[in-house]
Amino acid sequence: MTTETEKLNVIGHRTNRIDGPLKVTGTAKYASDHQFPGMLYAVAVGATIANGQIQSIDASKALKMPGVVGVYHKDNIAKIFNLPPSKGFLDMVIDERRPPLSDNTVQYYGQIIAVAVAHTFEQACAAADAVEVKYDSKTPKVDSNLLADAKLKVEYQRGDALAAYEKAKHKLDLTYRVPPEHHSTIELHASVATFDGHSFTLYETTQAVVNFRDVLAGYLGVEPDKVRVITRFLGSGFGGKLWPWSQSAVAATLARQLGKPIKLVMSRKMVFQAGGHRPAVEQRVLMGADDAGKLVSLQHDFANHRSILDEYKENCDECTKYFYSCPNVLTRFASVQRNIGSPTSMRGPGAVPGLFATESALDELAIKLKIDPVQLRVINEPSKDESLNIPFATRRLLECYELGAEKFGWSQRNAAIGSMKKNGTILGWGTAGAGWIAERFPAEVSVELRDDGSIRVLSATQDIGTGTYTVLAQMAAEEFNVPLSTIDVVIGDSSLPAGPISGGSMVTGSMIPAVSEACGKAKEALLNAAVKTADSPFHGAKEKDLVFANGKIRKSEQSDTEGIPFHQFLKKYNFKMVSGKGSSGSTFGAKASVSRHAYGAHFVEVGWQKDIARLRVNRVVTVIDSGKILNPQAARNQVEGAVVMGIGMALFEQGHYEPTKGALLNSSLADYIVPVHADMPDLEVQFLETPNKELNEYGAKGVGEVGLAGVAAAIANAVHHATGKRVRDLPISIEDLLTVT
């Protein structure tokens, strides 16, 4: 791997997506693009109650309709097995664990209770609509008053937060709410399942093909080697596709039962209702501080809703524990059962809603103490990770603030509420910090040097739209010092060497050591072939006296214009390829000697036009410290997208459950509001590139999730600065602000 003094040719340079042309020409095949002869279409029927029993399912009308093959439910679908318990970290992960169609109990509105199968999609839709279901229905519980129902348990403590709070000179006790939020990916959850009599091939929408294979093998009652899961392209995931959902087990089971390929695409409505969401979260933050603004006590209670059957924890105290210096910290958590589909990870799970609360509260403290919000962060900057009592690997949070403040013009801020105006619009300026873990998942990869001159990188990880194809190609191109176009990246297939889940913004950081090792091994294999092959010009030489550089094999005394291109060597001596394997371990679970995180700071300007009740985010400056940036173009894309998602979180996004029936009412992209182009601010993204070499050779940390952390707080803080109205219950609505006099 390169040393710091070596010049990087590909890594660190703006690089277009190598899969871009496939996507813009429509050549890239997503799960639901797969077609097979004889394929049947399945359409799921969702429950129209949220709590109760199915009394009867009458499919007689549906079965008489043209093209209908059958309507399958608990009584006539082949067995779907219980999943064995998870054996530990990342083993058989799924949020809704109960096998679909396994009993008559309905726990949430939209739960799959039957599936109609027909020769065309339209016929299957019509048949699904014609299925008549009778229920014995009870009133569901779907409200978001969570802390009132929560039996909080201590998650973390140091010192005595309660006693310190009692004695504190300045105190805040504030409650914040984040509503259910939906991933709103453009590509719907989809399964195309094929069964050849022995094995399954499943074309799926997943951020984790290996875990998906293992879960589906469990449901299907077969060994994992009888299941192959393919996700070559994903129309984004944001966590919504990290773990399997019920429709996949149904599609695969029907493929075996009917002996035909099955396509099951969830409707937008059902993805909203039964395909995961960020849970509703209620948080109480108690802060105690002295006159100088130093935190003396920090308490963070948080509760999220979860489904009736499955535990789900939104880890809101992740940053609370280490973000600021404070001797007395207490965090407590509870989940609260509701009649809802299971929540799941959504971009920056835990840290994102957590930082909305704590970074809003810190702003409230700054106002109370009349201290500039940036200065308050300086006052509370820790010199080590106080939760683990270990040093930070790198932490440049204050430099993020410094650079962001300079780019934004923060020194011009007048702290008085509503005091800053431009063309009749009141401006509000707010800031908040961001943090996200930087660890590694286990990764395996193989690298092939091939006789056609290509170099192939193979791993069962996946590109969820973030640029994984490109960054893996960059890594191999850099290792071998060859053009990027030489590299083929083959991922998104569970039959390849097990790669990391595309979750937690950790694929790139996890893959670097494995790719480096595999490239080294492939090179060794090539040089070994060079010295061992009779009639090779290198026959009998010592491997250490050979060089493989710029795609050529040569003797070390030869100049770099001499030598034989590797594919010429392979062709001439009749090798299809030589290859090497690489693997790297997880950094989870091991006792850490340093605390590893990505950091960031956001500066936001909102414009508030009171007379016409118009609020918009005018501009954002975001500075991110994610270590070495391997592809500045893709990294900037990630952070820009995250900031836009943060605007959605702050101003628009909210799932509404109807209280009597328990239906998620706004389960469509027309009714669930997300930011559009007209909402885009003037957006500037800066990176501080401090390599964290102890995580991987380039010192790269994730960029996906950290960019969303803190955005909603920065916007809420800016809205307060403009209007004097503190909104602690997201999203910030015009109605919240119209009560301002």
Distance CA 344, CA 183 (A): 10
Q: How would you label 677-698 residue by residue, b for 16+ Cβ within 10 Å and e otherwise?
A: eeeebebbbbbbbbbbbebbbb
Cβ proximity of 659 and 634 under 8 Å: no
Q: How far is the CB of 582 from ligand MOS (least distance, A)?
A: 24
Q: Where are the alpha helices (DSSP H) in 497-630?
A: 507-532, 566-572
Assess whether the previous peptide bond of 261 is cis (omega < 30° from 0): no
Cβ proximity of 707 and 600 under 8 Å: yes
For ligand MOS, the closer of residues 117 and 709 by Cβ is 709
| Interface with ligand MOS: number of residues (CB under 6 A) | 11
Judged by CB under 6 A, the stretch of 101-109, 232-240, 290-298, 314-322 that binds ligand MOS is 232-240
For ligand MOS, the closer of residues 504 and 513 by Cβ is 504
Nearest Cα residue to 601 out of 438, 415, 439, 396: 396
Residues 467-526 that bind ligand MOS (CB under 6 A): 503-504
Q: How far is the CB of 346 from ligand MOS (least distance, A)?
A: 5
Distance CA 388, CA 596 (A): 11
Identify the residue among 347, 413, 597, 636 touching ligand MOS (CB under 6 A). 347
Residues 287-346 that bind ligand MOS (CB under 6 A): 345-346
Q: How far is the CB of 344 from ligand MOS (least distance, A)?
A: 8
Confirm or reject binding of residue 237 to ligand MOS (CB under 6 A). yes
- Chain centre to alpha carbon of residue 353: 14
Type of residue found at 321: K
Distance CA 589, CA 208 (A): 20
What is the per-residue binding string for ligand MOS in 545-584, x denoting contact by CB under 6 A?
----------------------------------------
For ligand MOS, the closer of residues 77 and 438 by Cβ is 438
Question: Does residue 705 have an active-site annotation?
Answer: yes
Judged by CB under 6 A, the stretch of 238-246, 290-298, 357-365, 664-672 that binds ligand MOS is 238-246
For ligand MOS, the closer of residues 505 and 723 by Cβ is 505
Distance CA 741, CA 722 (A): 13
Cβ proximity of 455 and 488 under 8 Å: yes
The residues near 395 (Cβ < 8 Å, ≥ 6 apart) are: 595, 597, 599, 625
Helix H or strand E segment including 301? strand 295-306
SS3 84: coil
Distance CA 195, CA 265 (A): 18
Judged by CB under 6 A, the stretch of 89-97, 231-239, 267-275, 492-500 that binds ligand MOS is 231-239
Confirm or reject binding of residue 239 to ligand MOS (CB under 6 A). yes
The residues near 335 (Cβ < 8 Å, ≥ 6 apart) are: 150, 303, 304, 305, 306, 311, 312, 313
For ligand MOS, the closer of residues 97 and 347 by Cβ is 347
Give the nearest residue (CB) to ligand MOS: 239
Confirm or reject binding of residue 189 to ligand MOS (CB under 6 A). no
Residues 661-680 that bind ligand MOS (CB under 6 A): none
- Distances from the Cα of 376 to the Cαs of 300, 357, 363, 433, in angstroms? 19, 16, 9, 12
Contacts by 558-566, CB closer than 8 A, 24 or more apart: 564/537, 565/453, 566/449, 566/453, 566/526
Outline where DSSP puts E strands in 218-291. 227-230, 262-265, 281-289
For ligand MOS, the closer of residues 137 and 344 by Cβ is 344
Residues 112-171 that bind ligand MOS (CB under 6 A): none
For ligand MOS, the closer of residues 242 and 264 by Cβ is 242
For ligand MOS, the closer of residues 110 and 704 by Cβ is 704
Cβ proximity of 59 and 129 under 8 Å: no
Tokens of 38: 């004889």
Q: How far is the CB of 120 from ligand MOS (least distance, A)?
A: 34
Q: How far is the CB of 348 from ligand MOS (least distance, A)?
A: 7
Cβ proximity of 72 and 101 under 8 Å: yes
Q: How far is the CB of 17 from ligand MOS (least distance, A)?
A: 19
Confirm or reject binding of residue 276 to ligand MOS (CB under 6 A). no
Residues in the chain: 741
CA atoms within 13 A on the CB side of 123: 15
Identify the residue among 57, 77, 229, 242 touching ligand MOS (CB under 6 A). 242
For ligand MOS, the closer of residues 242 and 491 by Cβ is 242
Distance CA 109, CA 664 (A): 7
Q: How far is the CB of 674 from ligand MOS (least distance, A)?
A: 17
End-to-end CA distance of the chain: 62
Q: How far is the CB of 256 from ligand MOS (least distance, A)?
A: 30
Identify the residue among 261, 341, 343, 349 touching ligand MOS (CB under 6 A). 349
Judged by CB under 6 A, the stretch of 235-243, 623-631, 634-642, 686-694 that binds ligand MOS is 235-243
Nearest Cα residue to 577 out of 488, 468, 498, 470: 488
Q: How far is the CB of 583 from ligand MOS (least distance, A)?
A: 22
Of these residues, 181, 204, 318, 705, which one is catalytic? Answer: 705
Judged by CB under 6 A, the stretch of 234-242, 378-386, 554-562, 632-640 that binds ligand MOS is 234-242
Q: How far is the CB of 623 from ligand MOS (least distance, A)?
A: 22
- Concatenated DSSP letters of 553-571: EEETTS-TT-SEEHHHHHH
Identify the residue among 123, 207, 446, 638 touching ligand MOS (CB under 6 A). 207
Distance CA 162, CA 219 (A): 47
Judged by CB under 6 A, the stretch of 233-241, 257-265, 477-485, 552-560 that binds ligand MOS is 233-241
Tokens of 633: 């173009």
For ligand MOS, the closer of residues 439 and 736 by Cβ is 439
Q: How far is the CB of 575 from ligand MOS (least distance, A)?
A: 40
For ligand MOS, the closer of residues 242 and 455 by Cβ is 242
Distance CA 725, CA 192 (A): 50
Q: How far is the CB of 281 from ligand MOS (least distance, A)?
A: 15
Tokens of 673: 């509001």
For ligand MOS, the closer of residues 276 and 582 by Cβ is 276
- Concatenated DSSP letters of 114-161: EEEEESSHHHHHHHHHH-EEEEEE---------GGG---EEEEEES-H
For ligand MOS, the closer of residues 274 and 361 by Cβ is 274
Q: How far is the CB of 209 from ligand MOS (least distance, A)?
A: 14
Q: What is the largest CA-CA distance in the chain?
A: 90
Q: Which residues are catalytic?
A: 705
- Residues engaged in binding ligand MOS (CB under 6 A): 207, 237-239, 242, 345-347, 349, 503-504
